């Protein structure tokens, strides 16, 4: 083989070697790019998976969290068992609305000789139910006018009084949902300090904020509740500031808008709605005398319906 042929063969081998190395480098680079792309894809998929898990856990946890309801609620209402802290004095109410003597049998006049009489029957307590929104001016007017005589009737055992906090005006407080939060706060007091519910209910209405204002904050609502002198202030504050019963108040309002318990399909149409033995009061909300007369009339009807026909007894 000539020297020229040897040189050409060597040059060809070197070119082949360089080409082979170039191909190897290119292959390694391609593999590296593929690995990087695959790694990035795996990281992205893992990140999305983690986000999905977090979102799913958050949503499922929220959905599975049970709605808290007050334990002592009756048909979404709270029975007033005590008027402690309500500022009720011993003075006579403005309406002179005593249910004793009006709804019961008049005190008999002494007779010289026994006469046929009916067996004595006491009048049943009148059932008064008040659906109240703490941002409703009508609810405030009714409470201010009738608080004293309502408390006296309850104290005398002449009436049972139940308040039903509802939240029909939730949208009327610049987005703070004051009506809903106040109803939930009332439920907190009714649950944890029931003897002071009447006092707090009265304070919420007496110190009612303006419609279309922000209303009170949760901390301010808690301070109002504690100002009644209730027991367990820390528990009540935590309940109110945590809005523990806000969801319950919303659901209770929705139920009332569908149908009121103990009625023939009647539903809540506005606040206050006042029912006396199931009959709705449609008189002036701020007129205590008119309301007292309505209650006395209903009580009298209940008494006479409950009183049996007199059975004469022979004179001795």
Model confidence pLDDT, tens digit, residues 13-27: 677 776 777 677 677
Domain borders along the chain are 11-59, 78-99+123-306
pLDDT at 69 (0 to 100): 85
List phi, psi (to 5°) of 48. -60, -40
Model confidence pLDDT, tens digit, residues 35-84: 777 766 675 555 545 444 333 333 333 333 457 889 889 999 999 987 76
pLDDT at 157 (0 to 100): 92
List phi, psi (to 5°) of 135. -110, 5
Q: pLDDT at residue 32 above 60? A: yes
Q: pLDDT at residue 153 above 90? A: yes
The CATH number of domain 78-99+123-306 is 3.40.30.10: yes
pLDDT at 48 (0 to 100): 45
Q: Greater confidence, 231 or 61? A: 231
Beta bridge partners, 131, equal 164, 273
Q: pLDDT at residue 223 above 60? A: yes
**87 φψ region: left (φ > 0), alpha (ψ -120 to 50), beta (else):** left
């Amino acid at each position: 083989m000539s020297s020229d042929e040897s040189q050409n063969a060597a040059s060809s081998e070197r070119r082949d070697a360089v080409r082979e190395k170039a191909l190897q480098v290119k292959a390694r680079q391609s593999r590296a790019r593929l690995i990087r792309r695959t790694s990035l894809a795996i990281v992205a998929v893992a990140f999305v998976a983690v986000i999905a898990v977090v979102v799913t856990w958050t949503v499922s946890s929220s959905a599975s969290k049970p709605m808290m309801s007050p334990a002592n609620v009756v048909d979404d209402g709270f029975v007033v068992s005590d008027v402690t802290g309500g500022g009720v004095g011993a003075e006579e109410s403005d309406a002179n609305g005593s249910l004793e003597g009006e709804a019961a049998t008049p005190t008999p006049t002494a007779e010289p000789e026994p006469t046929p009489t009916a067996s004595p029957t006491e009048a049943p307590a009148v059932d008064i139910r008040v659906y109240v929104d703490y941002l409703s001016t009508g609810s405030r007017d009714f409470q201010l006018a009738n608080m004293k005589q309502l408390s006296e009737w309850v104290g005398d055992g002449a009436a049972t009084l139940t308040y039903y906090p509802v939240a029909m005006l939730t949208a009327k407080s610049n987005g703070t949902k004051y009506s809903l939060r106040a109803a939930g706060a009332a439920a907190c007091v009714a649950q944890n300090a029931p003897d002071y519910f009447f006092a707090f209910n009265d304070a919420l209405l007496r110190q009612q904020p303006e419609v279309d204002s922000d209303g009170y904050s949760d901390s301010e609502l808690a301070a109002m509740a504690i100002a009644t002198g209730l027991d367990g202030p820390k528990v009540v504050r935590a309940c109110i500031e945590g809005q523990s019963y806000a969801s319950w108040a919303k659901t209770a309002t929705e139920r009332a808008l569908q149908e009121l318990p103990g009625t023939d399909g009647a539903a809540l149409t506005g606040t206050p709605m006042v029912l006396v033995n199931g009959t709705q009061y449609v008189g002036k909300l701020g007129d205590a005398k008119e309301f007292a007369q309505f209650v006395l009339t209903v009580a009298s009807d209940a008494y006479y319906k409950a009183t049996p026909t007199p059975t004469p007894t022979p004179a001795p």
